[in-house]
A and B are shown apart, each in its own frame.
Chain A
């Protein structure tokens, strides 16, 4: 089983729609969780951290489910500019593990 697993997609999303996807992790000692965004042929950039109680940043909502060992990202009112690969990152101590990414394509 991969340490951090994501559905590679692509998720084809009509503009204005809501899309959600998960990331599962295998290390129960994982402490910190993040979503990064990577545009085509660009470097990854932090989108948001994921807190135990769940958190929201504008149209983006992140959730953590420790019992089932997954995190989720929900994007509301999708914009064309949301098209990217979303990388799940899980930290245990000073070890970071990246998921393979979920590709999202928002179409007019």
Chain B
């Protein structure tokens, strides 16, 4: 079983659809992250949750809505997206203790295409 699991792996949606991305970590970590990776651009941090509390929202449009019901699960709810939102969405987890000192473990990503 992989440490960080993301579903679905691929998603195609229209601009008026509502969908959700799911992430689950089996590593006992207390921090979870959503990153966006677009072609030819660096990974962009979207949201950070420490102990289920959102600690960072990196100026992400409201059409992306995160949810963290517990320290093992993270969702990204999507609605009325734009074609430029097409990207690879990566979930990651880490053990956070007052600062980043360790390793980020990434899921395999959800590749999103918005038509």
* Chain A residues in the interface with B (C-beta under 8 A): 4, 8, 31-32, 34, 36, 42-46, 87, 89, 91, 93-101
Contacts and interface: CB of A to CB of B under 8 A. Distances in A.
B59 interface: no
Contact of A94 (B40, B48, B103, B107): B48
A44 B100 contact: no
Interface-central residue, A31, A34, A44, A95, by most chain B CB under 10 Å: A44
Contact of A96 (B40, B45, B106, B109): B45
| Size category of the binding interface on chain B | 20 to 34
16 contacts: A4-B42, A8-B40, A43-B108, A87-B42, A87-B43, A94-B50, A94-B55, A94-B56, A94-B96, A94-B99, A95-B56, A96-B100, A97-B45, A100-B40, A100-B41, A100-B42
A46 B42 contact: no
B46 interface: no
A13 B100 CA distance: 33
Interface of B: 40-43, 45, 48, 50, 55-56, 90, 96, 98-101, 103-104, 106-109
Given A43-B106, A97-B42, 6 more contacts: A87-B42, A91-B100, A96-B100, A98-B42, A98-B43, A101-B42
A34 B100 CA distance: 11
A93 B40 CA distance: 27
A44 B43 contact: yes
